[in-house]
Amino acid sequence: NAGVMQNPRHLVRRRGQEARLRCSPMKGHSHVYWYRQLPEEGLKFMVYLQKENIIDESGMPKERFSAEFPKEGPSILRIQQVVRGDSAAYFCASSPEQGALKNIQYFGAGTRLSVL
Amino acid sequence: QQQVKQSPQSLIVQKGGISIINCAYENTAFDYFPWYQQFPGKGPALLIAIRPDVSEKKEGRFTISFNKSAKQFSLHIMDSQPGDSATYFCAASSGSAGAGSYQLTFGKGTKLSVIP
């Protein structure tokens, strides 16, 4: 029973390039969250998705960032034209259907993005 | 505006001692309060969580105390061990639709060091 899978674990990009981060939720989970963690900081919410729907993107920067969770395949967080300030650890979490287990989020190991 | 305040920022405890980490929240809509443990280079791992209908929850050496009127909750680690050395994050979320979509709001973390 695999946990939340994220890849790549480490990603190096030069300024102006695109970064694509992938997340496969736990088996049976259809809710995905993306968070960003800066060094020595807590995690900050970015976006919440269900299959084929963005439910809440209130934490997502308005420009250059986008997210999707297609019917088939992993969730993707895309950062276009990366800048040095995008360097951070990006974590994905998944949760089961709502009800008694709502709110409970399980995290992946993260993708550490470094922008040169 | 930081909605979850966590203290202390760092904590050093002798092996066998009690580690206590405190959090305070502002949003009265929060109804789920988890604690996460994070080791360097890893993702946050769910440790223990509480809902506001109880004042205390215990799992092994870990206990959450919850004070709804004061809007505070704390993590107690009994018989602290060197293997407990990690960063601990408190978090909070709301299960009400339209009130944050279950996103977790994190504290800034407490770096715990348990010395032999």
Mean confidence (pLDDT) of chain A: 91
Contact B44 A45 (CB under 8 A): no
DSSP B29: T
Inter-residue contact B111 to B87 (CB < 8 Å): yes
| Mutation for A interface: B3, B87, B101, most A CBs within 10 A | B101
Contact B103 A56 (CB under 8 A): yes
pLDDT at A56 over 60: yes
Contact A42 B6 (CB under 8 A): yes
Mean confidence (pLDDT) of chain B: 92
CA A66 to chain CA centroid, Å, is 10
The tokens for A83 are: 């800048």
- Rounded Cα distance, A61 and B22, in Å: 30
The tokens for B31 are: 């109804």
Inter-residue contact B50 to A104 (CB < 8 Å): no
Instruction: Please indicate if any CB of chain B lies within 8 Å of the CB of A90.
Output: no
Q: Give the pLDDT score at A46.
A: 96
Model confidence at B99, in pLDDT bands (50, 70, 90)?
very low
Select the residue of B6, B101, B109 nearest A48 (Cβ to Cβ). B101
The Cα of B106 is separated from the nearest Cα of chain A by a number of Å equal to: 6
Partners of residue A54 on adjacent β-strands: A49
**Rounded average pLDDT over A54-76:** 94
- Rounded Cα distance, B56 and A24, in Å: 34
Select the residue of A31, A33, A42 nearest B107 (Cβ to Cβ). A42
Contact A44 B32 (CB under 8 A): no
Q: How many residues does chain B have?
A: 116
DSSP B42: S
